[in-house]
């Protein structure tokens, strides 16, 4: 008999060779039906793999995130099986699970796939699903594996890198077999809803010197409704692409003369300034002071900060007066120099210093993508210097501030605690553990749950990452709070405590937007370009029914709204009124107002909100009040 310990601490005895399926069934038949695999002493096991020793067991059901990974990995093998049937000469490299589904890298020789071929492959996949083929796990020694895959150079390459005595696992489904650690589903018939999404090129091992393989992407879900919702989001996302809308709404442009360096057009500058003004107002209320630090600083500064040794490949450099300089990739070292400019007392802390700082980072040309991945951007940075006993309260207050700012944009979020990287970090492990505990305590104090993201901290300290969920349910990384006990040491910054002795402050790095450029890209897609009134570059279109009879009143309304700081456009073109209204809707202007005889006579306006079919007539004074209240309260309207 062996002992199985469950996550709740309870222990039950089973015969040697028991499986996850048996264990789940012993708990309840409903758990057995939902079970797909399990962790056995922290190792993933297939549901029918025997357990031969005492173990801690956690059962994975269809409700767990790991279940989606198992499903998608099984579907990747289903894809490869179908391709092998259709193209018997095909050879396969790797087929991992990724954030959105899976992919498989395939060598088809001279055959080239396009989107139309994916439909054919999907049909073959569906056929294999209908055959409900058993998926078997086999264990091989290295020499056995080399023999099995002797005609496949890609698999031989993988196998040769393994230890001589290592047990190698393969998964077999009828006439298809592939190397894999698993786990997998037990039958192909369990794969109910899947879609191949695209095909692209990928170099073998990611090296441009190697052969170009074909990479097929796909995704799978347990329910057809989940797949249908995903496909809807994909189509909707295409319509909301910030690059497409940025061009249509004349917000920004990218020139071939500056890849990764956005140009802001007049409408984009208005949007950008609204975000900056909001940022300054919010932070002024929170007691922040504001600075601006130079864009280029001496190499010695970056050596002191550690960037020169840990981030050099991403930095732009130049020479001035025979000395090496670097354009700043981060604002932090400049903020530290500002702190050192004065003496500080414990009474001054926490000291909150904000900077909208322009930074430059050398990104690979292939990674550039609109505003989401650029080479120059403005970080909405703030550096908070505080005592150790202030950390928890200060971070808790920051979480509250982040919560407020994101709520203004109707964005929800969850928090991830990123801990010490395995390598490329500075400072002692003791200091890291202390900092990580402080961030966790702050989340608990404010009542926010968080997920631990091991090894993803910055090189100088752990961090809280704020993952936003937009109107399509997509997740974006924006805000961050990074706790730094290392740079204060490197820069030798101090404050005088109540005993008159020098003490080292703790430094918090934090950004809410993340970068203004990327945040604008996110909210373009979040709002589908239909910004709330306070953000919209053009807030109101005034459309006179007849220029000859209604132009005077239209000009009066124009002047009145202009005095109230409303961003307006008077459309006096000799075009049909229906054409003007449609164009205003295409440009996603929040309010279109029509002025005719009735409106002129009664000092009224007839307005229509973007996305609404209904028109409303109110007095001019009521309309002005409506606009001012909506701007002041940053109101959201659900566009239909």
C-alpha–C-alpha distance, residues 616 and 628, integer Å: 17
| Mean pLDDT computed over 215-234 | 93
Mean pLDDT of 411-434: 86
- Decide if pLDDT at 43 tops 50: yes
- Topology of domain 66-232 in CATH is 3.30.980
Q: What is the mean pLDDT of residues 477-492?
A: 89
For residue range 401-416, list pLDDT tens digits in order: 999 999 999 999 999 9
The predicted structure's pLDDT at residue 309: 84
Is it the case that residue 64 has pLDDT exceeding 80? yes
Question: What is the structure's pLDDT at 638?
Answer: 64
Residues 70-83 pLDDT 10s? 999 999 999 999 99
Quick count: other Cβ atoms within 10 Å of Cβ 91?
18
Sorted by sequence, the CB contacts under 8 Å of residue 172 that are 6+ apart come out as 135, 136, 138
Q: What percent of the chain has pLDDT over 70?
A: 100
The per-residue pLDDT for range 353-385, each reduced to its tens digit, is: 999 999 999 988 888 899 999 999 999 999 999
- Whether 214 and 203 have beta carbons less than 8 Å apart is answered as no
pLDDT score, position 342: 94
Of 284 and 158, which is predicted with more confidence?
284
> What confidence category does residue 326 fall into, taking pLDDT thresholds of 50, 70 and 90?
very high
Q: What is the mean pLDDT of residues 86-90?
A: 93
As a whole number of angstroms, the distance between CA 577 and CA 590 comes to: 17
DSSP state of 166: -
* Domain positions in the chain: 2-61, 66-232, 248-293+331-526, 540-633
Q: In angstroms, rounded to a whole number, what is the distance separating the alpha carbons of residues 348 and 343?
A: 10
Render pLDDT for 252-262 as a digit per residue (tens, 0 to 9): 999 999 999 99
Coil/strand/helix, residue 534? coil
Q: Is the pLDDT of residue 637 over 80?
A: no
Per residue in 425-446, is it b (16+ CB within 10 Å) or e — as a string? bbbeeebbebbbebbbebbeeb
Catalytic residue set:
332, 361, 379, 381, 383, 463, 509
Query: What is the DSSP code (8-state) at residue 62?
Result: T
CATH topology of domain 2-61: Ubiquitin-like (UB roll) (3.10.20)
Q: What is the pLDDT of residue 423?
A: 79
Q: Picking from 62-66, 216-220, 247-251, 558-562, which range would have the lowest pLDDT averaged per residue?
A: 62-66
Residues 6+ apart with CB under 8 A from 625: none
Instruction: Assess whether pLDDT exceeds 80 at residue 518.
Output: yes
Sign of the alpha-carbon torsion through 530, 536, 537, 539: positive
Query: CA-to-CA distance for 267 and 252, rounded, in angstroms?
Result: 8
In the predicted model, what is the mean pLDDT of residues 260-281? 97
Domain spanning 540-633, CATH architecture: 3-Layer(aba) Sandwich (3.40)
Exposed (0-12), middle (13-18) or buried (19+): which is 586, by Cβ within 10 Å? exposed
352 contacts 288 by C-beta, under 8 angstroms = yes
**pLDDT of residue 606 exceeding 70:** yes
- pLDDT value at residue 39: 93
* pTM metric for this prediction: 0.80
Chain-centroid distance, C-alpha 261: 21
Residue 114 has pLDDT above 90, yes or no: no
Q: Per-residue b/e over 227-249, b at no fewer than 16 CB within 10 Å?
A: beebeeeeeeeeebebbebbeeb
Phi-psi region of 260 (alpha: psi -120 to 50; beta: other; left: phi over 0): left
- Indicate whether 27 pLDDT > 70: yes
pLDDT at 620: 95
Whole-number pLDDT of residue 640: 45
Intrachain domains 248-293+331-526 and 540-633 with the same fold:
no
Q: What is the dihedral of CA 277, 283, 284, 287, to 10 degrees?
A: -170
Taking the alpha carbons of 72, 75, 79, 80 in that order, is the dihedral positive or negative?
A: positive
User: Is cis: bond before 574, omega within 30 of 0?
Assistant: no
Structure tokens at 515: 């970068």
**Burial tier of 143 (Cβ tally within 10 Å: 0-12, 13-18, 19+):** exposed
Q: What pLDDT, in 10s, does the model give residues 432-479?
A: 888 899 999 999 988 899 988 888 887 778 999 999 998 888 889 899
The mean pLDDT value for 413-435 works out to 86
**Whole-number mean pLDDT of the chain?**
92
Residue of 187, 243, 222, 211 whose CA lies nearest to 109: 211
CATH 3.30.930.10 fits 248-293+331-526, yes or no: yes
Q: How far is CA 81 from CA 89, 196, 476, 539, in A?
A: 12, 14, 34, 55
| pLDDT at residue 639 in the model | 55
Ranking 127-131, 321-325, 548-552, 621-625 by mean pLDDT, the lowest is 548-552
Other CB atoms within 10 A of residue 267 CB:
18
């Amino acid at each position: 008999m062996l002992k199985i310990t469950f996550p709740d601490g309870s222990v039950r005895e089973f015969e040697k060779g028991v499986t996850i399926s048996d264990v789940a069934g012993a708990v309840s038949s409903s758990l057995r039906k939902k079970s797909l695999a399990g962790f056995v002493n922290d190792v993933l096991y297939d549901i029918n793999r025997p357990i031969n020793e005492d173990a801690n067991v956690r059962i994975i059901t269809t409700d767990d995130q790991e279940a989606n990974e198992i499903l998608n990995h099984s579907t990747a093998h289903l894809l490869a099986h179908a391709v092998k049937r259709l193209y018997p000469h095909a050879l396969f490299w790797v087929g991992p699970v990724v954030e959105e589904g899976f992919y498989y890298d395939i060598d088809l020789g001279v055959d080239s796939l396009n989107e139309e071929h994916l439909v054919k492959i999907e049909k073959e996949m569906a056929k294999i699903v209908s055959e409900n083929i058993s998926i078997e796990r086999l264990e091989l020694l290295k020499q056995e594996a080399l023999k099995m895959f002797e005609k496949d150079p890609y698999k031989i390459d993988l196998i040769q890198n393994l230890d001589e005595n290592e047990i190698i696992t393969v998964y077999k489904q009828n006439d298809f077999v592939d190397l894999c650690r698993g786990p997998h589903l037990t039958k192909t018939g369990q794969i109910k809803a899947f879609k191949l999404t695209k095909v692209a090129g990928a170099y073998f091992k990611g090296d441009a010197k190697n052969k170009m393989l074909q990479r097929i992407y796909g995704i799978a879900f347990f329910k057809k409704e989940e797949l249908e919702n995903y496909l809807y989001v994909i189509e909707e996302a295409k319509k909301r692409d910030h690059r497409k809308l940025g061009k249509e709404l004349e917000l920004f442009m990218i020139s071939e003369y500056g890849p990764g360096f956005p140009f802001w057009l007049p409408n984009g500058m208005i949007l950008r300034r609204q975000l900056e003004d909001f940022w300054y107002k919010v932070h002024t209320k929170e007691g922040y002071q504001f600075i601006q630090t130079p864009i280029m600083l001496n190499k010695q500064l970056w050596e002191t900060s550690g960037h020169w040794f840990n981030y050099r490949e991403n930095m732009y450099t130049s020479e001035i007066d025979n000395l090496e300089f670097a354009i700043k990739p981060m604002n932090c070292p400049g903020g530290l120099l500002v702190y050192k400019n004065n003496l500080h007392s414990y009474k001054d802390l926490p000291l909150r210093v904000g900077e909208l700082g322009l930074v430059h980072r050398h990104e690979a040309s292939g990674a550039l993508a609109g505003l989401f991945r650029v080479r120059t951007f403005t970080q909405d940075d703030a550096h908070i210097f505080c005592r150790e006993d202030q950390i928890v309260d200060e971070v808790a207050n920051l979480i509250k501030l982040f919560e407020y700012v994101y709520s203004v944009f109707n964005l929800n979020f969850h928090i991830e605690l990123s801990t010490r990287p395995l390598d490329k970090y500075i400072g002692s492990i003791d200091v890291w553990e202390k900092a990580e505990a402080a961030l966790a305590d702050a989340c608990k104090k404010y009542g926010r749950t968080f997920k631990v993201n091991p090894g993803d901290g910055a090189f100088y300290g752990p961090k809280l990452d704020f993952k936003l969920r937009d109107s399509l349910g997509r997740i974006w990384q924006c805000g961050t709070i990074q706790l730094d006990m290392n740079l204060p040491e490197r820069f030798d910054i101090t404050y005088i405590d109540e005993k008159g002795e020098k003490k080292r402050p703790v430094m918090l790095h934090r950004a809410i937007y993340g970068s203004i450029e990327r945040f604008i890209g996110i909210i373009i897609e979040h709002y589908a370009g239909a910004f709330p009134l306070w953000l919209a570059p053009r807030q109101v279109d005034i459309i006179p029914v007849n220029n000859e009879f209604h132009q005077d009143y239209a000009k009066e309304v124009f002047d009145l709204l202009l005095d109230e700081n409303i961003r307006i456009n008077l459309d006096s073109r000799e075009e049909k009124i229906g054409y003007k209204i449609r164009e205003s809707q295409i440009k996603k202007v929040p309010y279109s107002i029509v002025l005719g005889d009735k409106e002129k006579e009664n000092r009224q306006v007839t307005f229509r909100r973007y996305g609404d079919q209904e028109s409303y007539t109110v007095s001019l004074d009521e309309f002005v009040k409506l606009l001012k209240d909506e701007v002041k309260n940053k109101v959201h309207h659900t566009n239909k």
